[in-house]
Amino acid sequence: METTPSDEASKTAAAGAATSTSTPTANAPTAPATFTPLFGGAKILLAETPKAVTPFGGLCSFIAFLQQIGFGAKVAQALPFAAPTSPNAIPLAHTFSAFFFAVVTGASRFAHTDWLRGDRALHALLGIARFPGDDTVRAFFRRFTQGHVEAFWRPLWTWSLTLLATPPAGFHLDLDSTVIGREGQQEGARKGYNPRRKGRNSHHPLLAVLAEAPFILHGWLRSGNCSSARGAVEFLKEALALAPATLKVRCVRADSGFFADDVLAFLESRALSYVVVARLTSAVKRGCVGLPDSAWTKVDENYSVGEISLQLQGWAKARRFIVVREQVRDDKAAVGRLLLDVPGYTYRVFVTNRSDAGAVIWRDYNGRACVEQRIEELKHDLSAGGFCVREFFGTEAAFLSVLFAFNLLGLYQRQLDPARPYRQPATLRSQVFVAGAILGLAGKQVALKLSQAWGGLAKHRPLLDAILQWTPLTSPKLDSVLPATVPAGASP
């Protein structure tokens, strides 16, 4: 970028200010700053270095992965805003990427984006000459309207799904909602179901998760006064429209919040198998109580499975219900609801259109527990609820950015080693991304010098090789993410 006279003046003034405040006078020499270690020992001298140092040297393989799949080009292509015309403006794709990497490195508020502004080594790895501040990032998201959200995220999600390999048996698609508490008067923040902070405003997102990936197929941010199933049919239509033809949905699983005739009828109209927890209405309770002993199939000494067929009020047809009965024990908390008419047992009931044995359906539904874990990772590892602006669609755009980061972290892991167990984002951050490094030179080439104490090349070279050996089938490669000139702060 061309330097203007005003920039030069600012640099000169800043340099002069730094000199005037840091140069000791002849009559008052400044003693070196030292401190004593916590548990004693020789004093430690406090000094400084002009070298570009980063705590996130381990991001090199993840950045290489994003470069391989064409992340930068796809983001720039999908942006719904006109490119800024000012020669001093930061490219919008750089602003979005700055927020993206703030989330990956552990930010939980927009203000935390600033902690990467001084990381010149990371700037070089990203190829970003000027790193935006938190006000710039916040202003970027405040521009989003509903149309912008659709125009930006739909093509990005469709593209990212093409990078996902479908297992032979297909994916389980798990539906769930969660509560994000809000302080203030943000758009869409309303009083609703909020188990932790009753009576407080919140948003109530809706998520569709591919269990085996893990991958967020679709997400909505909704007002806090929405019920779980509100808008679920339209949400499912959008989710299925995003999925490529090669993506096979094996079964849809959901809790009792989605026990609604319109949801079940929609799934049946799309020929999708489902298992949904049934609400224990009076009619369902009567059906459970009316099961004779001969109708129960014993699974083990504590569990039995039965089934009933019911057509509830307002339904156009009868549906199959699987009933799981668990004996109440002193040494284990039973899952389910107690029925006064049948003491000593708890009951769980599922509605399904599958023909499998009841025990098979019950065990298959139990695998849905992973969706709760994914939500916890989004909220605690990536702070999905922490990025909020006054405008609703700006908040939704930031929320979807976190989901997008979660998906790409999952794809990155699968590319590194598909056989390795999945690592949560916080675990990946601590085990891979956090690694001290210095930006320097190797001959005339810019080099990232990883600390041996954090694993060095022995740890990170195999990860980088695994990424670079992969040839993407869809997105074109980008140009090198490293700048052609030596970045400021680079040292030999």
pLDDT of residue 412: 96
pLDDT of residue 328: 84
Q: Could you tell me if 336 and 323 are in contact, meaning their C-beta atoms sit under 8 angstroms apart?
A: no
What values do phi and psi take at 121, rounded to 5?
A: -65, -45
Query: Angle at CA 306, nearest 5°, toward 304 and 311?
Result: 150
CA dihedral 114, 120, 124, 128 (to 10 degrees): 40
pLDDT of residue 477: 40
Sign of CA dihedral 115, 450, 430, 68: positive
The DSSP H or E segment spanning 369 is: helix 369-376
Instruction: Supply 302's token pair.
Output: 């504590």
- Residue with token string 């949904």: 276
Beta bridge partners of 305: 297, 324
Q: Could you tell me if 248 and 170 are in contact, meaning their C-beta atoms sit under 8 angstroms apart?
A: yes
Give the Cα separation of 376 and 406 in Å (integer).
12
pLDDT of residue 185: 85
Q: For the chain, give percent helix, strand, coil, nearest 5.
A: 40, 20, 40
Give the Cα separation of 174 and 253 in Å (integer).
5
What values do phi and psi take at 300, rounded to 5?
A: -155, -165
pLDDT of residue 12: 37
pLDDT of residue 69: 95
Count of residues making up the chain: 492
- Residue with token string 């390795």: 420
Q: What secondary structure does DSSP assign to 202-213, as a single string?
A: EE--EEEEETTT
- pTM strictly above 0.75: yes
Give the Cα separation of 215 and 489 in Å (integer).
38
Q: Could you tell me which of 222, 173, 180, 174 has the C-alpha nearest to residue 202?
A: 180
The CA radius of gyration of the chain, in Å to the nearest whole number, is 28
Q: Could you tell me if 381 and 426 are in contact, meaning their C-beta atoms sit under 8 angstroms apart?
A: yes
Q: Could you tell me if 270 and 292 are in contact, meaning their C-beta atoms sit under 8 angstroms apart?
A: no
pLDDT of residue 27: 62
* pLDDT tens, per residue, the chain with 492 residues: 444 444 443 333 333 434 444 444 556 667 889 999 999 889 999 999 999 999 999 999 999 999 999 999 999 999 999 999 898 899 999 999 999 999 999 999 999 999 999 999 999 999 999 999 999 999 999 999 999 999 999 999 999 999 998 899 999 999 999 999 998 889 998 887 777 777 789 999 999 999 999 999 999 999 989 888 999 999 999 999 999 989 999 999 999 999 999 999 999 999 999 999 999 999 999 999 999 989 999 999 889 999 999 999 999 999 999 999 998 877 776 677 777 567 788 999 999 999 999 999 999 999 898 999 999 999 999 999 999 999 999 999 999 999 999 999 999 999 998 889 999 999 999 999 999 999 999 988 999 999 999 999 999 999 999 998 876 544 434 343 444 444 545 544
Beta bridge partners of 172: 251
If one counts every other C-beta atom within 10 angstroms of the C-beta of residue 270, the result is 13
Give the Cα separation of 274 and 351 in Å (integer).
8
Q: Could you tell me if 325 and 246 are in contact, meaning their C-beta atoms sit under 8 angstroms apart?
A: no
Q: Could you tell me which of 424, 407, 408, 378 has the C-alpha nearest to residue 221?
A: 378
Give the Cα separation of 470 and 468 in Å (integer).
5
Q: Which residues contact 238 (CB under 8 A, 6 or more apart)?
A: 218
